[in-house]
Structure 1
Amino acid sequence: MPARFQRWTDSQVAAAGALLRGLHDSTRGSRLAGRHPVVCHHDPGPNNAVFCGDVPVAFIDFDTAAPGDPLEDIGYMAWTWCVSSKPDAPPASAQAAQVRLLADAYELDTPSRARLVDAMLDRQARNARWWRGWLTAPGPRVTDDHQIAERIRWSEREHAHTAAHRETFAVALL
């Protein structure tokens, strides 16, 4: 798991959710978003957040930004800020409470809340596929094969954890 992925406080998670909402709202209905609802960051994890003190205040690394559905970013954010399969992580119920806090801070509507767990699972699966693609890509690698394999395994463990606790996350979002 990347070093910047750790246990975040409720206030940090809420600040991140509000920050993402602000990013999405700034592009909603714009020509940049095209026929999509917003421009997504596509990697709004803590590793791409700038902190002032201990509060996330901005995002960096917009190389994968593109028009999309807000749930793509919210699903990724819920995973990377709130969910962890690590043995010493808080129980799934505590993680689910943070996912709800994130959804509340983002002001996520009821229909989207019902799809958020699927969005998390989708982003975890897509992350594993993205890293797997680097194993067979020609040319220079973003990192060595061992690190790529570790990130694939991490994404797969996170997916299995989220799937195993799907009901806990879904109930928390009601």
Structure 2
Amino acid sequence: MVAGEEADPSEMILGGGRLTPGIVKIGQTVRRPKSAFTRTLLLHFAQAGFDGVPQHLGRDELDRDILEFLPGDVPAKWRALTDDQVAAAGSLLRRFHEASQALAERLGGGPVICHNDAGPNNTVFRHGRPVAFIDFDFASAGDPLDDVAYMAWSWCISSKPTRGYVASQAHQVRVLADAYRLSAAQRARLMDAVHERLVRNEYFWTARASNGPPVISGPPPTEVLAWTSAEKAFVARFQTVFAAALA
């Protein structure tokens, strides 16, 4: 918005977004900066009959993407979740990947389209159950195990003492693997994939802290980087516990 310009009273700024500015709700729609890939992805899902994402409804007069507003609750932060919620998330991610396969085949780069940020904070819950994913800024073709690894971390694993015993976290990683229907070979690679994702997060937030644009909300990049490093050390420390649960 230009300095001195009044905000449109019909637009409600949506909270929760950390990296993408200009996301607002108008009526039962969400307006976001346009993304050709998001448009392609959501139109593909609509054609495939997958209802676990919002519909793409076109572009508005400001050339923003118009997305369906999905009613429900979106957690502001990662938190402890139940086994049933983790299982439902794993099943939802499996359906997301299966519905994306034809598009990934056309694009190349991997067998499925990965969300790449499928944490609880990018998931719509209804009656306590995860039913849809939102925010596809990082989506791309890739290895489905990358998405499962990110979900294992963001839904099941935490170095914070308040998040419970490691054995309970490892059990939830097993619940996720079962719900997604990981193969034996994928289960053997899962915790290595979690570690690799944490390393990638360190690179991302290191660059963001040194020369990237500021985050819109939440802690600064340096704080996120320190937390990510603590999470990586936690996963490495208890690697055998997690691996045993998956065996």
> TM-score range with shorter-chain normalisation?
over 0.9
In structure 2, runs of 5+ residues without a counterpart are 1-74
**More helix per residue:** 1
Contact 2:88/2:130 (8 A) holds in 1: yes
Answering whether residue 37 of structure 2 is matched by residue 37 of structure 1, we say: no
Pick from 148, 153, 159 the counterpart of residue 74 of structure 1.
Answer: 148
Closer/same/farther in 2, CA of residues 118 and 33 from structure 1, 3 Å limit: farther
1:33–1:15 Cα change, 3 Å: farther
| Structure 1, unaligned runs of 5 or more | none
Q: What residue identity is the alignment partner of 1:57?
A: V
What RMSD, in angstroms, separates the aligned Cα atoms of the two structures? Answer: 1.8
Higher relative contact order (CA 8 A, sep 6+): 1
Report the CA distance between 1:143 and its aligned residue. 4.3
Poorly superposed stretches of 4+, deviation over 6 Å: none
Q: What residue is the counterpart of 2:176 in the other structure?
A: 102
Which protein has the bigger strand share? 2
8 Å CA contact 2:206, 2:221 repeated in 1:
yes
Q: Between Structure 1 and Structure 2, how many residues are aligned?
A: 172
Q: Which string of whole-angstrom CA distances, capped at 9 and with x for unpartnered residues, describes residues 49-100 of structure 1? A: 0111211100000011000001110000000000010022211111000000
Work out whether residues 166 and 241 of structure 2, in 8 Å CA contact, stay in contact via their aligned partners in 1: yes
Identity %: 48
1:88 alignment partner, SS class: helix
Partner in structure 2 of residue 64 of structure 1: 138
Tell me, yes or no, if the aligned pair for 2:205 and 2:224 is still in contact at 8 Å. yes
79-88 vs 32-41, which deviates more? 32-41
On the 8 A contact 1:103/1:113 being kept in 2, the answer is yes
1:124-135 to structure 2, matched below 5 A, reads 124-135=198-209
The code of the aligned residue for 1:60 comes to I
| TM-score computed with the length of structure 1 as normaliser | 0.92
> TM-score w.r.t. structure 2 length?
0.66
Question: 2:79 touches 2:163 (CA, 8 Å); kept in 1?
Answer: no
Match of 1:90 among 157, 164, 187: 164
